[in-house]
Amino acid sequence: MEDAHTVLLSVPEDPDAAFFGVFDGHGGASIAEYASKHLSRHIFMQEHYSKGDIIEAIRRGYLELDATMRENELLRAELAGSTAVTVLLKDNKVYCGNAGDSRAIAMVGGHVRALSQDHKPTNKIEHDRIKEAGGFVDMNRVNGNLALSRALGDYNFKTSVRKSAENQIVTANPDVTVFETSSEWQFIVLACDGIWDVLTNEEVGSFVAERLANNIEPHLICEQLMDRCLAPDGLMGGLGLDNMTIKLISIKGIHSHPIKQDFANLQLETVGMKELSLCK
């Protein structure tokens, strides 16, 4: 299993904040596992965070973690990488950081809102950035190899000594978005591409909303959503055969203090074996 996750309902460095993350590893699990344990600290210990510039704290936290892991000989040698999509809840705001093709959505007033955008080499902005950094896109992959254009790790794509971390062929520099919450915010879903390759944002949002309305427990909704995305026959190949991680944050009374949340996380490894980790 190369996926990992973070759940901090109350952050040690800031008890008034909550932090969630999904990390979809490739080439090995080491980067995803390390990031899931340490990214939050790199964000919350930033001087920018203490000064209230949370957007810049998230951005620098991603890059600082990536630089720290690069100094670790074992992590650097594995040539592994990982996506990182995170959600930070604080002061009636949702901050979403993203590097890669894991994704976060929210249901707001009955409508699905994308909190992040995938970083794919076929995206024009990413395609142009890759070329400017000295790389190329072939077969919809970075240098004909990597299917995403931003990631933690993947240091074999970050070799230019003349370019900054933000301007490497593959960069850990995240997009950071911020949203004001209201009583209309119902839930947030974070998931790796094993879900989004099968279902659209709207399909996932509708699936979750219908079941929450019927008082189904969040962890059961995650399980049902994974079952919905599974390929019917693991021997046939195609969609529904990737590792899957889903994080469902059902928001209740987000404008009261403290924030009350129901959390469910489930992990599944295909083909033929389920690994379930339920947290609430």
| 81-116 residue pLDDT tens | 999 999 999 999 999 999 999 999 999 999 999 999
Q: What is the pLDDT at residue 89?
A: 94
pLDDT at 239 over 70: no
Closest CA to 143 of 177, 125, 123, 170: 170
pLDDT confidence tier of residue 244, bands split at 50, 70 and 90: confident
Q: Is residue 276 one of the residues assigned to a domain?
A: no
Q: What is the pLDDT at residue 127?
A: 98
Q: pLDDT averaged over the chain?
A: 87
User: Tell me: the pLDDT tens digits for 114-123?
Assistant: 999 999 999 9
C-alpha atoms less than 13 angstroms from C-alpha of 253 in its C-beta half-sphere? 7
pLDDT at 44 over 50: yes
Rounded Cα distance between 122 and 103, Å, is 17
Question: Across-strand partners of 265?
Answer: 247
Share of the chain above pLDDT 70, in %: 85
Per-residue pLDDT, averaged over 257-270, amounts to: 42
pLDDT confidence tier of residue 252, bands split at 50, 70 and 90: low
pLDDT at 267 over 50: no
Q: Is residue 259 one of the residues assigned to a domain?
A: yes
In 2-115, alpha helices (H): 30-44, 47-50, 54-70, 73-78
Cβ neighbourhood burial of 265 (10 Å; 0-12, 13-18, 19+): buried
Q: Is residue 16 one of the residues assigned to a domain?
A: yes
Q: Is residue 275 one of the residues assigned to a domain?
A: no
Rounded Cα distance between 51 and 47, Å, is 6
Residue 100 token pair: 């890669």
pLDDT at 174 over 90: yes
What's the domain range around 78?
3-268
Cβ neighbourhood burial of 194 (10 Å; 0-12, 13-18, 19+): buried
Q: What is the pLDDT at residue 238?
A: 45
Q: What is the pLDDT at residue 262?
A: 46
- The contacts of residue 67 (CB under 8 Å, 6+ apart) are 165
When divided into structural domains, the chain yields a total of: 1
Tell me if 91 sits within 8 A of 137, measured CB to CB.
no
Q: What is the pLDDT at residue 258?
A: 41
Q: Is residue 21 one of the residues assigned to a domain?
A: yes
Q: Is residue 220 one of the residues assigned to a domain?
A: yes
Residue 121's domain is classified under what CATH number? 3.60.40.10
Rounded Cα distance between 41 and 82, Å, is 18
Q: Is residue 274 one of the residues assigned to a domain?
A: no
pLDDT at 61 over 80: yes
pLDDT at 1 over 70: no
Q: Is residue 251 one of the residues assigned to a domain?
A: yes
